Structure 1
Amino acid sequence: MTIWYLTDLIGISVFAISGALSALSKKMYHDLLGIFFISFLTAIGGGTLRDIIMNAHPIVWIRDPNYLIVISLGTILAIVCRKWWFGKLRRPLLLFDTLGVGIYTILGMQKALSAGVNTWAAMLLGVVSALFGGVIRDTLVNDLPIIFDRQLYVTPCLTGATLYLLGRSLPIDPTLNFVLAAGVITLFRLAAIRNNWALPSIK
């Protein structure tokens, strides 16, 4: 069990929690299967689209049951802890979504680069990995997808992806490079939420 495999499972679990919290925020307390379904699609949506685009088969969650186990555990954790999270954390959905985006942008790009995809396409596939599950989640619960929110969303992903590529060309430990790039995305996104940063609008 490698560090990258564990990181993938952590990213999956974080996205699963964000999906379940999104469903719970819509008062879906009596539809456990619905909560799990939204959690599942949030967790695997971006990675599945990335693998389909790269023609990487079989899709990882189909051949490895650990992904479904982790998604189930994340969903249960969100349900059990929902009152604490909603009571103690400010906008918990955005927090878990941001953590997942930070991890999956770099992890998705790393997988694309390992498959021989060119650098620019790998960056885009990293963004797809990170954001598409959230788009599915928000669409299913009838919310405007966060990606279309005024606050910076794609920009932090591309910033972290660029930093990761720079680190690959330097004598930096790959794990440290991953942590730094994912951390930059997470902190950049959290700062954008807190300070309401946005790019100039087109008029």
Structure 2
Amino acid sequence: MDFYSLLIENIIIICGTFSYAVSGAFAAMQKRLDAFGVIIVAFVTAVGGGTLRDLVIGDTPVFWIKEPSYTFVIVVAALLSMFFWKNVKRFKKTLFLFDTLGLGFFTILGIQKGLAHNLDPGSCILLGTFTGCFGGIARDMLINNIPIIFRKEIYATACILGGAFYFVLDALNVENSISELLTISLIVVIRIVAVRKQLVLPRFY
């Protein structure tokens, strides 16, 4: 991996971890948890998907144990969220924004982890979906909410479509860092458009 690609990957990792930690912190503050509770929910949100991913593919110890800098980023994100929450007028919009960003960043990280373990595209997309979604599931379960993935909102579908798009770009020999950024952008756009336009998957009951 060249320096530019490594730089892009590290930026994605930091941005994804920070985004999901902030979304967890704001979700916890909505429930009026104390500072310790906010940090715990932020931590679980940020590492939940990656932990499941690593356990599924047998990559242990899991990533945040091998690299303590993740914990530092999460704690900083949680503290900043608590200190500056008064500057954010609407919890719900902030939570949605950072959750959507985290979904995009972590989906591509899961796909890249699958490729590093020589998995086929379908398994990589599934791994990316796990990585993107499970942190939000864990967050919502901790604060006693129905997880977004089980509601009517388009959530996991955005990860799957983004993952498929990534492999289309790969087949077209698009440079990897560009493919990653385009995939993240597509997932974010799908989520935003789906919520703004109230697009949902069909129900069969």
| Smaller-chain TM-score bracket | over 0.9
1:27 to 32, 54, 58: 32
Correspondence list, 1:22-171, <5 A: 22-28=27-33, 31-85=34-88, 87=89, 91-171=93-173
Look up the match of 2:23.
Answer: 18
Cα distance in structure 2, aligned partners of 1:154 and 1:42? 16
Letter in 2 for 1:137: R
Q: Deviations over 1:82-141 (max 9, x none)?
A: 1222x1676211111000001111111111111111221111110000000100100011
| Cα distance change of structure 1 residues 22 and 152 upon mapping to structure 2, 3 Å threshold | same
Query: Structure 1 194/89 Cα, relative in aligned 2: closer, same or farther at 3 Å?
Result: farther
Residues 88 and 145 from structure 1, CA distance in 2 versus in 1: closer, same or farther, beyond 3 angstroms? closer
Task: Say if 2:26 and 2:91, in contact at 8 Å, map to a contact too.
Answer: no
Counterparts of 2:91 and 2:40 in 1: how far apart (Å)? 24
TM-score normalised by L of structure 2 = 0.93
Separation of aligned partners in 2, 1:21 and 1:178: 27
Equivalent-residue separation in structure 2 for 1:109 and 1:168 (angstroms)? 12
Aligned-residue identity in percent: 35
Shift of 1:5: 2.2
* Ranges in structure 2 where 5+ consecutive residues have no aligned partner: 1-5
Structure 1 runs of 4+ with >4 Å offset: none
3, 7, 12: which one aligns with 1:2: 7
Shift of 1:159: 1.0
1:193 aligns with 2:195: yes
2:172 maps to amino acid? L
Q: Once structures 1 and 2 are overlaid, which stretch shifts more, 122-131 or 109-118?
A: 109-118
Structure 1: gaps spanning 5 or more residues: none
Q: What is the number of residues matched between the two proteins?
A: 200
Q: TM-score, normalised by structure 1?
A: 0.94
